[in-house]
Chains A and B, each alone.
Chain A
C-alpha cells in the first residue's frame, strides 16, 4: 500500500475545521494537524446555531484555517495526495463554503477531489484512532443525529435504528435551555448532573426493551419540563437533580438500545462498539458504554473527546479511505443538506436521522 496524505475540510454546522491526515504504507492513520474553530460564542446569544451567522463565520475563517492546518502538518499543498470536503448532511450555506473551497483547491492544484458524507467521517474515525476492523457497531449521537449503524466497509453502512423524533444532543440542549443553563447545553447538563441526585426524579426510559434499536427523546424532554414546572421556581439543587436524573435516563436508554442492536448482530458479531458524535463526549455515556462492553466482552472504541465533535481530521480520514479505494468526485458534486449514510429508509423514522 502506498502512503497517502489528505487535506480534509469541514463546515457543515458550527465548527470550521481543516486537517491533514496521513496513512502509512501499512494503512495506519496518523493525524498531522487538526485545526478547529468553534463558533459557540457567535451563537450563544441565540441559544442555538443560526444558519446565516454560521455561514458568515465559515467564509471568514476557512482559508486561514486551512493554511494553519498545512503549516502545523509541516507540509504544503504539493505534499497532499487528495483534497476532501464534507458535502453534507448539514446546514447548506456552510456546506457549500467548504465544498466549494475544497473543489477550488483541488482544481487549482490538479489533485483529486473527494466529497465526504459528514456522517461517514464520524463512522470511520475509530479506524483512524484505534485501527478498528470491519464490521463494527457505531453509536452516532450528536445534536442532529441519534443512530445505531452496522459499519461493514467503506461506503457500506446498515442503519439498524434511528431516532423517531429528537436527536439526543437536541434533548440535552433543550433541557439545558429550559433549566436556564448556558449554550451549548450538553456539557452544561453533564456538569450540573455531577452535583445532582440521579434518583430524585423518575424519568421514562423511552423505547427501552423494544426489539428495534430505535430511539425517542422527545417524551423524556417533556417529562423533564413537566417535573421542572411542578417544582419551579428552581433552586440550584433542583437543577442539578433534574440534570442528573435526565442524564441517567439518557444513559440507560443508550445502553439498552446498544444491547438491542447487538442482539440484531448476534449471528455475525461486530469487532467493536464505537461511539461518535458530540454527545459521545459525555462522560456518563462513555462510562455506560464501558460497562456494557465489559459485560459483553466487546472491544470499545471511544475517540478522544476532540474527535467526537465535528473536526477536519474525520473528513480527511474518510476522504483518504475513499480515495484509497478509488472513489473520487467531480467538480459538479452538489452539496446534500440531507444525506443518510444508507439508502434504507424506515417509515417509523419519519425521515429523521
Chain B
C-alpha cells in the first residue's frame, strides 16, 4: 500500500509518500514553521508527488487530525480530503499524539510513553501509551498538575512540546519523568505508518480539536418589548 502522509498540525509542514509493502519512505519533506502552513503545504505536495511517482500510484492519504493548531489541522485535512476525492481513494485520520509517541514505542525499557503538546495556560494535550502502543490515556486536554497525578504510578518518558513542562511540574510534586528531546512535531514517516495501519471506518480524516470554539457573546441586547 502506497500512502501519502500530511502533517500541518504543529509548528512544521511535512509531506511524505510511504511504500507500506517495502516499509520504506519513498520521498519526504519537512519544513519547520510557526505560521504559513497553508502557503507552504500545496507547493510541497507538488514537489513530493513529482519525486514520488505522482498521485495515480497512491492507495490512501493519511493526515494528522490533531490535537494541535485548529487552523493547521484544517489545512491538512482539507488537502487530504481533496486528494482523496480527486483520486478516488480513502483519507484516514491519525492522532497527532499517537504519531508523536510512535518512535518511542516497542523499546526494551518498557516505559510508559506520554505524548504531550503544550496547550498554554498550564495545560497540555496529552495521551499515554504502554510500550506496546496500547492506549492507557486517550487524547485529552488536561492541566499539567492533573496530568502528573494521572501518571504518578509508572516510569514515564514524555515527548512533544509539553514534555518539558510536564517534567518540571512532576519534579515539583516529587516525581521524575524522562523527556525525549526530539522535534516538537511528529515524524512524518510515523504518520504514514499509522495511516497505513488505520481502519478508514474508525479513523476518519476529521479534526480532533479537544476544545470547544472560543466564543464571546457580544453586542447590545435587544430593547424591551411591550407585554400584550
Contact = CB atoms under 8 A, between A and B. Distances in A.
A332 B42 contact: yes
Contacts of B193: none
Contacts of A56: 74, 207, 209, 213
Contact of A331 (B46, B74, B81, B222): B46
B42 A107 contact: yes
Nearest to A332: B43
Interface of B: 38-39, 41-43, 45-46, 49, 55, 70-71, 74-75, 77-87, 206-207, 209, 213-215, 217, 219-220, 222-228
Contacts of A177: 219-220, 222
A255 interface: no
Overall SS of chain A's interface: helix
Contacts of B215: 46, 50, 52-53
Interface string A29-62: 0000000000000000011101011011011101
A93 interface: yes
A178 B207 contact: no
Contact of B41 (A47, A52, A100, A330): A100
Given A179-B222, A236-B228, A335 B77 contact: no
A239 to B, nearest CB: 8
A234 B223 contact: yes
Nearest to A9: B82
Contacts of A334: 38-39
Contacts, number: 132
Contacts of B214: 52
A96 B75 contact: yes
B223 A228 contact: yes
Contact of B82 (A50, A101, A225, A229): A101
Contacts of A74: none
Nearest to B45: A107
Contact of A108 (B74, B78, B83, B227): B83
12 contacts: A58-B74, A60-B206, A96-B38, A100-B38, A100-B41, A100-B75, A100-B79, A108-B87, A228-B223, A233-B227, A239-B225, A332-B39
Contacts of A93: 70-71, 74
Given A177-B219, A236-B228, A331-B43, A108 B71 contact: no
| Nearest 10 A/B pairs, CB to CB | A104-B82, A180-B222, A108-B86, A52-B213, A331-B42, A101-B82, A100-B78, A233-B226, A233-B224, A63-B81
A107 B46 contact: yes
A186 B140 CA distance: 41
B71 A104 contact: no
A259 interface: no
Contacts of B43: 330-332
A67 interface: yes
Given A56-B213, A232-B224, A331-B43, A104 B86 contact: yes
B71 A96 contact: yes
B81 A101 contact: yes
A332 B37 CA distance: 11
Contact of B55 (A52, A58, A108): A108
A246 B43 CA distance: 50
Contacts of A239: 225
Interface string A210-243: 0000000000000001001100111110110000
Nearest to B209: A56
Interface in A55-85: 55-56, 58-60, 62-63, 66-67, 77
B14 to A, nearest CB: 15
Contact of A104 (B83, B222, B228): B83
Nearest to B46: A331
Nearest to A98: B78
A174 to B, nearest CB: 8
Contacts of B80: 104
A345 interface: no
